[in-house]
Amino acid sequence: MPGSFFGPSNLVELVQHRASHQPRDRAFIYLLDGETDEVELTYRELDRQARAVAARLQEMNLAGERALLLYPAGLDFIAAFFGCLYAGVVAVPAYPPRRNRSLTRIQSIADDADARVALTTFAVWERVQPVLDQTPDLTKIEWLCTDQLPEKIENQWQSPDVHGDTLAFLQYTSGSTGVPKGVMLTHANLMHNSASIAYAFEHTRSGGGVFWLPSYHDMGLIGGILQPLYIGRPNVLMSPMAFLQKPLRWLKAISRYRATISGGPNFAYDLCVKKVTPEQRATLDLSSWNLAFNGAEPVRAETIDAFSRMFEPAGFRRTAFYPCYGMAEATLIVTGGFKAALPVVRTFDSEALENNHVVDALSDEDGARELVGSGGKLLDQSILIAHPEHMTTQPPDQVGEIWVSGPSVAQGYWKRPEETERTFKAYLKDTGEGPYLRTGDLGFIQDGELFVTGRLKDLIIIRGLNHYPQDIEATADRSHARVRQGNGAAFVAEVDGVDRLVLVQEIERGPLEELDGVIEAIRRAVSAEHELNLDGVALMKAGTIPKTSSGKIQRHACRQAFIDGSLPSVALWRSWSAAPAAQPAAQSPASDKAAAGLARGARRDPAHASPARDANGKSTRTQAEMTTVEIVLEHVRAVAKERAVGLSIDSSIVELGLDSLERMEIVAALEETYGGRFPEDVLPQIETVREVAAAVETYLGKTPRAREERAASEEIPEEAYRFECFPEYKRLKQQMEASYSAGYRNPFFTVHERVINDTTLIDGREMVSFSSYNYIGTSGEPRVVAAVKRAIERYGTSVSASRLVSGEKPIHGELEQAIADFIGVDAALAFVGGHSTNETTLGHLLGPGDLILHDALAHNSIVQGAILSGARRRAFPHNDCKALDALLEELRGAYRRVVIAIEGVYSMDGDISDVPRFIDIKRRHKALLYVDEAHSLGILGRRGRGVSEHFGIDPREVDVWMGTLSKSLGSCGGYIAGNHALIEYLKYTAPGFLFAAGMTPSNTAAALAALRVLEAEPQRVARLHDRSELFLKLARERGLNTGMSQGSPIVPVILGNSLDTLRLAQALFDRGINVQPILHPAVEEEAARLRFFITSEHSDQQIRDTVEAVAEELARIDTRYLKQPAATTNGVHAGSASPARAR
C-alpha cells in the first residue's frame, strides 16, 4: 500500500508514535470564534486525553462494545474518538443533539449499533435532559461526560489488543427505509485510505490545512482529523456553523495560517462567491492554497469557473482545484487526479448520456453537457464500469455502475449480512472477478479519468450530505390529513442551472382553498425533520402521479414532467417564482420566464406582526426606533421572504422551511446589526423569534450599532456623535449612580492638598493615608525636591521632543546608568510612562510566530503589550510554576521566541513571585524571563534592590527587568534594564521610546535623587519591612481576610461584596483613614476589597489604630467578615483579583 514504509499499523500506534516523536508539536488548532480565538492540542496532550477517556471505558468493561459520540464542534470529539480506539471500543460518531428537537435519529443509531455508552460533554448532557423522556431507550445506556473525568485517570490505562483488522468505528449513513446503516471501518481501512489521500494530494509535513467540515462526517473525520495525524502536520479547525455564518472566515483562516490544503463540496465554494464582497476579498492572500479538493457531490464546472474568477485577485489559482470521488463505503477517497493539474472538463451529448452512451460534443452544441473528471484510480485500488443489471463489464463508450475494490473498501454494513452481500460482494458474471463494492453511482472512464454522471438509485445529495427520497416522502405523509400516504416523489431537478429539491405529492379530495395550507405543512415538516428546504411542491389529484405497471412511483418521470412543465398538478409552489403562492397549474415550462404568470399574488403578512412598511416591504422606522423583536422579525422576513407568511413572535424559524445556510444568514445579519457574536453553543438552542430576541439582548445587547450606510434622509442618532449619549458612558453613569445612591462619597479621584506620606490633607482635614505608592517616602523628600529645582533651573521644564530628535540631557544618562548599577545589569533605558514601557517593549520584541506566557494576574500593561505584539498569548495559573512548565513542554517547540512575563510583587494581592523557580524553567526551555518590578524595587531585599536581592540570585539570570519610577523612586515613568544588546536595540527601534518625547528634566532628576536617597539610607527599607509585617500580623489576628499577601507592603482586606466594601471605606474615611476600595467590575465581585499600601513613614500606632478601626467597622457591617482567614485553592487565592487589573 502507499506509505507502507510507515511503521504504525493502526490508529492507536499512530497517535502514540506522534506523541513519542513530536510531543510538543501542535496537532490541532481549533478556532473558537472561527477567527482568532484559538485553542490547541499537542500530540502529547491528545495521547494523554485519549488515555484518560480509554481508562474510564476500560473501568466500565466496554472493550468490543459501541460508544455513541455526541459532541459539538471542537477538540473534545477528537480526544473521545481516540479514547474509544485506545480502549478497544467501537466509536459511533453521530450528529450532536439539539434542544427541543427529537432524538429519534440518535435513538435509531444507538439501537442499530447496540450502543452501551454515550460520550459527550457536560453541557450537551444538560441540554438533552428535557428531551430524553421522549426516547426512553436512550436513558438505558450510560452517559459519560469526558470533560468531567478524574485527574490522573490516564495513568490507569492499559494498552488494548488492537490490530489492523480490528473494527475502529461505524460511519452511519441514511438508510433507504429511514433506518440508518453503519458502515464498518477497520484500522486497516483507515490507515490505507489515509495513505491514499497522502499519495493523491502529495502531502508533506511542510503543509497545513484548514477544515470546517463536521467531525462526525467522513470528510471531516478522515480528511480533517486522521489525515493530518497520518502526515504529522497541524490542522486548523473551525465549526461548520462558523463557516456557514460567515464564509469569509474560512478564507481568512487559509490566509492567516498560510494553509496549503482545504476544501469541501460545491456549495462551500458557491457560498463564498455569493457572500464575500470585493472589499473583503482584498484582505485575503490565498496564494499558499495549492490544493482545493472538491467532493461529496458531483463537481460542477460552473463552481470551478466562478470561484476561480472571483478569487484569482486574492492569489487563488485554478490549478489548485482538485475534483475527487469517494464514499463512506470505501472509507473516503476512491479517485483523484494530479496536484497542480487543471481540472479535466469535457462536454458530452446529454441525450446520449441519458441512454447510457458516451458521445463527445462541442461545448456550443445544443444538448451539450459539461462533466468534470474526478481523476483516476489510486494505488492498490481497482475501478471498473459494470452493467448494473447484467453485472458484466461495460465497453468504454457505455455508462454503467461504478464498482470499486481495494484495501479501503469497508467490511460491510453493521448487522446487515444480506445488504452487505449485495453491496460489498459483487462479482462480474463475464470474468468472475470480485469481490467489488457496488457504489450505486453511474459513470464512465475515458482516458483513465472517471466521470460521474448520476445515481443508479434516487439518492438525493445536498451540500455533500446524502438524503434518501423515501425519508422525505415519509415525512410528507405525516404532515397533513389531505396527503395520500405512499403517493409522493422527492427528487432534485436542475432548473436554470440550479439544483432544486422538489416534492410531487398526491392529495385527497377537498376544498381548493386548503391547498396553500397543505403545501405549508409539507414544507414545515420536511424542514423540521430533515433540515432541508424544499424548493418546489406540486400537488396532484389522486391517481395521477406517474407509476410503473406494478404500482411503483416513477421518480425519474416525475422529475422530467416537472422540468418540462407537463406535470398535471392542481397546485404548484416554487421558491424561485416571483409570485410563489399555490394555485392550479397549467402545462408550461418550469423556467421562471415561461412560468411568470402561473402563480397568484403574494400573500400579505399580518399587520400586527411587523412595523409599518414602505412599498418595497421594508420598515419605515429606523432600527433605533424598533424593538429587538421587531428587528429579529425584519431579518427573518428578509431571508424567508414569502415563507414568512404569518410570522409571529412565537413562530419557529426552523419550521419556516429555512435551511441551515439561511438560518446562519439571519444570525450573521443580527451580529452585524448589533456588533457582537452569539456563543456557538447558544445557537442550537434558540428556535423561535422570541428566543432569538432574548438571546440578542443577552449576548449582543439591546442597542443596534450605527450602520455604515444610511439613507440621506435618515437622521444620525445622538449616540453616534455626542459623548454624553454614548451607550458605554451611560453604563458608566448607571454604575456610579448605583454605587453611590446610598449617600456614600465617590472615593476615586480624591483631591490631596499636599504630599502624601503617612498622612495626607483632604478638604483641609489631615488624615492617615494608605492610598499611596510612596513606599519609602522619597516623594516630597527635601533632597529630592531640591534636585528637581536645580534641574528645572538648568535644563528647563521639557526636552520638547524625543531624545533621538532633540538630544539628551546629562541626567538622562546618569539616571539610566544608576538604575543599571543598582539592579546589577549592564544598561537601562528610561521611558516617560510605566504602562507604555511594558506595552512598547513587549509589543516590539515579539511578533507573530512568538509566544508570551504571562501570569494570570499580570498587570494590564503586560496583557496590552502582548496583544500589541501579535504574538500568541497564554496565561498560566497565578504563580504556578508547575503549570507553566507543562505549558512549555507542550508549546515551546512551535514558536520562535517565548517570553515568560511575571511580576516581582503583585499589586492587587501583595504576594511575591518565586523567581528562582521561574529562572530554572526559562533555562530549561530556552525562553526569556521578563520581570515587572513596579512594586518590588525599593521594597524587597535588605537594600531595596528588588527580587534579585530578596532571593539572592544573579540579576543577569533575568533577561528583561522592568520597573516604574513613580513608586519607590518618587517620580514618574518606567525603565527597562538588561544587557547592552537589549538596551541598544530598544533605544534605536522601540516606537514608545523613539517617537515619544523624552522624560522631563524634573522627573529625571527626581528619580535619580530618590535612588541616591535609597542607596544612602537602606534603613528606610528596613522600616518598611517592619511596618508591613506588623500590619499583616495584626490584620490576621483580627480575622481579616488578607488573601495571599506576604512579605510586601501591599495588604488587601477582602470582603467579596462591593457595597459593603464601599461602606467600609466610607466608615474609615469618617474616622480619618483614607484607603481605596477596589470594586466590581475592576475585580470579580467575590474579590471586592480595600487595598492598604504601607510606607516606611507610617508609625506603629497608626497601623494599630487602623487595623482596630477596620475590625470595629466590619463588626458593625457583618461580624462574619472577622472570621475569614486567607484561603487558597491550588495555590490561587479564592478571592484573588481578575486578570489585566490596574495597579
40 forms bridges with which residues in the sheet?
29
Task: Tell the CATH topology of 468-574.
Answer: GMP Synthetase; Chain A, domain 3 (3.30.300)
Q: What is the pLDDT of residues 644-659, one digit of tens each?
A: 767 888 777 776 767 6
Residue with cell 389529484: 541
Q: Which residues contact 1037 (CB under 8 A, 6 or more apart)?
A: none
Q: What are the φ/ψ torsions at residue 93 (nearest 5 degrees)? A: -65, 140
Higher pLDDT, 471 or 537: 537
pLDDT at 1125: 44
Distance CA 438, CA 422 (A): 8
Specify the CATH number of the domain 759-773+1019-1133. Answer: 3.90.1150.10
pLDDT at 468: 67
pLDDT at 1132: 32
Q: What is the pLDDT of residues 786-800, one digit of tens each?
A: 999 999 999 999 988
b/e code 476-499 from CB counts within 10 Å (16+ = b)? bbebbebbbeebbbbbbbebeeeb
Distance CA 525, CA 201 (A): 41
Q: What is the pLDDT of residues 9-42, one digit of tens each?
A: 899 999 999 999 999 999 999 999 899 888 999 9
pLDDT at 624: 54
Q: What is the pLDDT of residues 1026-1042, one digit of tens each?
A: 999 999 999 999 999 99
Lowest average pLDDT, out of 56-70, 863-877, 968-982, 1042-1056, goes to 863-877
Lowest average pLDDT, out of 352-366, 462-476, 885-899, goes to 462-476
pLDDT at 1: 36
The separation between the first and the last C-alpha atoms of the chain, rounded to the nearest angstrom, is 63
Interval 412-432 mean pLDDT: 95
Residue with cell 443577552: 698
Task: Tell the CATH topology of 607-700.
Answer: 1.10.1200
With contact defined as beta carbons under 8 Å apart, do 221 and 400 qualify? no
With contact defined as beta carbons under 8 Å apart, do 777 and 784 qualify? no
pLDDT at 788: 96
Residue with cell 463512506: 328
Distance CA 193, CA 776 (A): 71
With contact defined as beta carbons under 8 Å apart, do 341 and 317 qualify? no
With contact defined as beta carbons under 8 Å apart, do 940 and 905 qualify? yes
List, by residue range, all CATH 1.10.1200.10 domains of the chain: 607-700
The two beta strands, 333-336 and 382-386, are: unpaired
List, by residue range, all CATH 3.40.640.10 domains of the chain: 782-1016
393 forms bridges with which residues in the sheet?
386
Q: How confident is the model at residue 620 (pLDDT cuts 50, 70, 90)?
A: very low
pLDDT at 582: 40
831 forms bridges with which residues in the sheet?
974
Pick the CATH number of 11-245 from 3.30.70.260, 3.40.50.12780, 3.30.2130.10, 3.90.550.10: 3.40.50.12780
Whether 2 has a pLDDT exceeding 50, the answer reads no
pTM: 0.55
Range among 601-615, 841-855, 856-870, 1019-1033 with highest mean pLDDT value: 1019-1033
List, by residue range, all CATH 3.90.1150.10 domains of the chain: 759-773+1019-1133
Interval 238-244 mean pLDDT: 92
Three-state secondary structure readout of 835-889? HHHHHHHHHHHCCCCCEEEEECCCEHHHHHHHHHHCCEEEEECCCCHHHHHHHHH
Q: How confident is the model at residue 1143 (pLDDT cuts 50, 70, 90)?
A: low
Q: How confident is the model at residue 559 (pLDDT cuts 50, 70, 90)?
A: confident
pLDDT at 419: 93
pLDDT at 650: 78
pLDDT at 550: 52
Interval 382-398 mean pLDDT: 93
Whether 1139 has a pLDDT exceeding 50, the answer reads no
With contact defined as beta carbons under 8 Å apart, do 983 and 948 qualify? no
Any idea what DSSP says for residue 896?
A: S
Whether 608 has a pLDDT exceeding 60, the answer reads no
Number of Cα atoms under 13 Å in the Cβ half of residue 249: 23
Number of Cα atoms under 13 Å in the Cβ half of residue 381: 32
Q: What is the pLDDT of residues 1064-1079, one digit of tens each?
A: 999 999 999 999 999 8
Whether 635 has a pLDDT exceeding 80, the answer reads yes
List, by residue range, all CATH 3.30.300.30 domains of the chain: 468-574
Whether 549 has a pLDDT exceeding 90, the answer reads no
With contact defined as beta carbons under 8 Å apart, do 90 and 64 qualify? yes
Q: What is the pLDDT of residues 1007-1029, one digit of tens each?
A: 999 999 999 999 999 999 999 99
What is residue 771's three-state secondary structure? coil
Q: Can the peptide bond before residue 435 be classed as cis, meaning omega within 30 degrees of 0?
A: yes
With contact defined as beta carbons under 8 Å apart, do 540 and 506 qualify? yes
Interval 430-442 mean pLDDT: 93
Whether 661 has a pLDDT exceeding 80, the answer reads no
Whether 192 has a pLDDT exceeding 80, the answer reads yes
b/e code 735-753 from CB counts within 10 Å (16+ = b)? eeeebeeeebeebeebeee
One-letter identity of residue 1074: N
CATH code 3.40.640.10 for 782-1016: yes
Interval 531-559 mean pLDDT: 82
pLDDT at 917: 96
Q: Which residues contact 320 (CB under 8 A, 6 or more apart)?
A: 289, 290, 291, 292, 340
Q: What is the pLDDT of residues 123-180, one digit of tens each?
A: 888 878 777 766 777 878 899 999 999 989 999 999 999 999 999 999 997 644 456 8
Cell of 87: 480502549
Taking CA atoms, 893 is separated from 14, 23, 233, 876, 890, in Å, by 20, 9, 14, 18, 8
Q: Which of 867, 927, 876, 862 is nearest to 897 (CA)?
A: 927
pLDDT at 630: 86
What string of DSSP letters covers 301-326?
A: HHHHHHHHHHHGGGT--GGGEEEEEE
Interval 348-366 mean pLDDT: 85
Calculate the average pLDDT of the chain.
86
Q: What is the pLDDT of residues 77-93, one digit of tens each?
A: 999 999 999 999 999 99
Interval 319-327 mean pLDDT: 94
Whether 249 has a pLDDT exceeding 80, the answer reads yes
One-letter identity of residue 761: L
Taking CA atoms, 424 is separated from 92, 558, 603, in Å, by 21, 31, 52
pLDDT at 601: 26
Whether 776 has a pLDDT exceeding 80, the answer reads yes
pLDDT at 299: 81
Residue with cell 416525475: 558
Interval 888-908 mean pLDDT: 92
Whether 1124 has a pLDDT exceeding 60, the answer reads no
Q: Which residues contact 366 (CB under 8 A, 6 or more apart)?
A: none
Distance CA 1004, CA 998 (A): 10
With contact defined as beta carbons under 8 Å apart, do 1018 and 1092 qualify? no
Whether 1083 has a pLDDT exceeding 90, the answer reads no
